[in-house]
Amino acid sequence: MYWQRARRSRSTFSSRAYALHYFVFLSYLACTACGKRHEWGRLQNLCTACSKPLFAIYDLEAVRKLDCLKQSSFEARDTSLWRWRELLPLPKGAEPISLGEGGTPLLRAEKFGAEMEVDLWIKDESLNPTQSFKARGMSVAVSMAKFLGAKKLAVPSAGNAGGAMAAYSARAGLEAHIFMPRDTPRANVVECREVGAHVTLIDGLITDCGAEIARRKEKEGWFDLSTLKEPYRIEGKKTLGYEVAEQLDWRLPDVILYPTGGGTGLIGMWKAFSEMEKLGWIDNRRPRMFSVQAKGCAPIVRAFDSGEKFAPEFPDAHTIASGLRVPKAIGDFLMLNILRESKGGAIAVDDDEMIRAVREVGSEEGLFVAPEGAACFIALKELRGAGKIDSGEQIVIFNTGSGIKYLDCFET
Ligand SMILES: Cc1ncc(COP(=O)(O)O)c(C=O)c1O
Ligand SMILES: [Zn+2]
């Protein structure tokens, strides 16, 4: 038995939960801004001192010392993201809420790559349950919320996060309350309702949906699962980083292009890279990380270009790539730090070009990508043209969702 018994005060657990015997490498939650430590053994949202996001901190030294856990041990495990169990927050003995998320293919984009003269790979996240990478975050967050005693969950969503939260809540037997902008793609709305969620459509943006939840959550008894406003969606998303490293034989690519809204995937991968280095699995080289946004909603691009530490709210946000329609992100300072530290950048793409790129990628590579994923291919062309990516470099693009959820955007 190599799992550690979590040393926690009894008062932070319900007696039933405590009785289960927890073995876990999760040590505590740390504020990403002021560093204040928080107990993980109860439901937590933001830092109680400064209202910034919390990160899960593990005893990686203990994981590193495990004789029976090496990089190669993972090959024998099942392909879902729960294969990284020692690096996830759910204690042993608690059953994950899983639909088989993670373990997606890293596909070579031969033709597009040859045109760009780069070694191009696509991490195809459309193969996740509910057809997007949001399944990763929700599997871990819903598992932890249930474990820690939540009964009713609420989330503001641009579309895909709502669908994933609805599905995992149904599986967990928890109530799901989803707030979406009225113009969210129809597929996302129908999907949420058909898996039993309570859906409210709001005349406004995702930030207005979040504000509505904040207003009502205490009275309604909802636990708020908003992006980065609880600590575990990012833990699910960080498995993107572990998988890419494993799929590239524990050598990270030169460049990562990531379609950015709230930024959990970007921030999560960066966290994974640092964990893997502490585990001795990779060296200190990092990819240049690029945030790809839509011209109609590019707060991170603007803040990056103007050298700001935080990204002010982007006015009149609009784009057909609904996942990128996030005018203000609570993790803005974390993203901007990563883009700068990695010597990457941020780039905005036009909606019409995204739609054209869906067909280009589809007909060349055989994938019906989401507009968010397509945006990264345009970004690659522009970054190559601007000399920010060299020929022969290895690039990973994240296709975060499926075009099938966006049929309203395409002519028939
Ligand atoms: C398909 C798709 N891509 C990208 C994003 C942005 O993700 P993140 O919040 O990790 O930046 C979203 C978010 O809704 C999405 O649905
Ligand atoms: Zn703080």
Average pLDDT, the chain: 93
Q: Is the pLDDT of residue 18 over 90?
A: no
Ligand 2 center–CA 41 separation, angstroms: 18
**Shortest-distance Cα residue to atom 12 of ligand 1:** 323
Which amino acid type is present at position 338? Answer: I
Adjacent-strand bridge partners of 29: 38, 56
Question: Both tokens of residue 32?
Answer: 């990403």
CB 103 within 8 A of CB 139: no
Write out the DSSP string of 174-238: -EEEEEEETTS-HHHHHHHHHTT-EEEEESS-HHHHHHHHHHHHHHHTEEE--TTTSSSHHHHHT
Ligand closest to 354 (CA) is: 1
Ligand 1 center–CA 207 separation, angstroms: 14
Name the band, by pLDDT with cuts 50, 70 and 90, for residue 78.
confident
pLDDT for residue 20? 42
Mean pLDDT of 36-52: 97
Mean pLDDT of 221-234: 97
pTM: 0.94
Cα(354)–Cα(293) distance, rounded to whole angstroms? 11
Q: Is 350 helix (H, G, I), strand (E, B) or coil?
A: coil
pLDDT for residue 69? 77
**Shortest-distance Cα residue to atom 16 of ligand 1:** 323
132, 192, 319, 335, best to mutate for ligand 1 pocket (most atoms within 8 Å of CB)? 132
Cα(97)–Cα(236) distance, rounded to whole angstroms? 12
Q: Is the pLDDT of residue 35 over 60?
A: yes
pLDDT tens digits for range 189-213: 999 999 999 999 999 989 999 999 9
Q: Is the pLDDT of residue 117 over 50?
A: yes
Q: Is the pLDDT of residue 45 over 80?
A: yes
Residue 109 phi/psi, 5-degree rounding, is -100, 80
**Shortest-distance Cα residue to atom 2 of ligand 1:** 323
Residue (of 389, 392, 107, 84) closest to 256 by Cα position: 389
Residue (of 265, 263, 264, 282) closest to 273 by Cα position: 282
> What number of other Cβ atoms are within 10 A of residue 77's Cβ?
12
pLDDT for residue 22? 58
pLDDT for residue 76? 81
pLDDT tens digits for range 229-286: 999 999 999 999 999 999 999 999 999 999 999 999 999 999 999 999 999 999 999 9
Tell me the CA distances in angstroms from 276 to 61, 182, 280, 394, one per residue in order: 11, 41, 6, 20
Q: Is the pLDDT of residue 221 over 80?
A: yes
Cα(300)–Cα(312) distance, rounded to whole angstroms? 9
Q: Is the pLDDT of residue 75 over 90?
A: no
Give the number of the atom of ligand 1 that is nearest the alpha carbon of residue 132: 1
Question: Both tokens of residue 394?
Answer: 């290895």
**Shortest-distance Cα residue to atom 6 of ligand 1:** 261
> What number of other Cβ atoms are within 10 A of residue 357's Cβ?
23
Residue (of 58, 54, 49, 57) closest to 31 by Cα position: 54
**Shortest-distance Cα residue to atom 5 of ligand 1:** 323
Residue ranges around ligand 1 (CB below 6 Å): 132, 134, 158-161, 227, 259-265, 323, 370, 372, 400-401
Ligand 1 center–CA 243 separation, angstroms: 18
Give the number of the atom of ligand 1 that is nearest the alpha carbon of residue 405: 1
Ligand 2 center–CA 144 separation, angstroms: 21
Which amino acid type is present at position 363? Answer: S
Give the number of the atom of ligand 1 that is nearest the alpha carbon of residue 261: 11
Give the number of the atom of ligand 1 that is nearest the alpha carbon of residue 158: 14
Write out the DSSP string of 139-164: HHHHHHHHHTT--EEEEE-SSHHHHH
Adjacent-strand bridge partners of 119: 394
Question: Both tokens of residue 112?
Answer: 């597009």
Tell me the CA distances in angstroms from 283 to 71, 261, 275, one per residue in order: 14, 29, 11
Ligand closest to 181 (CA) is: 1
Q: Is 225 helix (H, G, I), strand (E, B) or coil?
A: coil
Residue (of 127, 201, 135, 199) closest to 171 by Cα position: 135
Mean pLDDT of 15-25: 55
Write out the DSSP string of 100-129: S-----EEE-HHHHHHHTSEEEEEEGGGSG
Ligand 1 center–CA 26 separation, angstroms: 26
Q: Is the pLDDT of residue 157 over 60?
A: yes
Q: Is the pLDDT of residue 99 over 70?
A: yes
Give the number of the atom of ligand 1 that is nearest the alpha carbon of residue 262: 9
Mean pLDDT of 110-124: 98
Adjacent-strand bridge partners of 177: 154, 198
Q: Is the pLDDT of residue 7 over 70?
A: no
Give the number of the atom of ligand 1 that is nearest the alpha carbon of residue 264: 10
Q: Is the pLDDT of residue 21 over 60?
A: no
Mean pLDDT of 401-408: 96
Ligand 2 center–CA 230 separation, angstroms: 13
Residue count of the chain:
412
Q: Is the pLDDT of residue 97 over 70?
A: yes
Bigger pLDDT: 356 vs 8: 356
**Shortest-distance Cα residue to atom 7 of ligand 1:** 261
DSSP state of 173: T
Burial class (CB in 10 A: 0-12, 13-18, 19+), 76: exposed
Question: To which residue do tokens 């799929």 refer?
Answer: 247
* CA trace torsion 341, 324, 197, 330 (10° rounding): 40
Ligand 1 center–CA 92 separation, angstroms: 30
Percent pLDDT > 90 in the chain is 87
Adjacent-strand bridge partners of 292: 259, 347
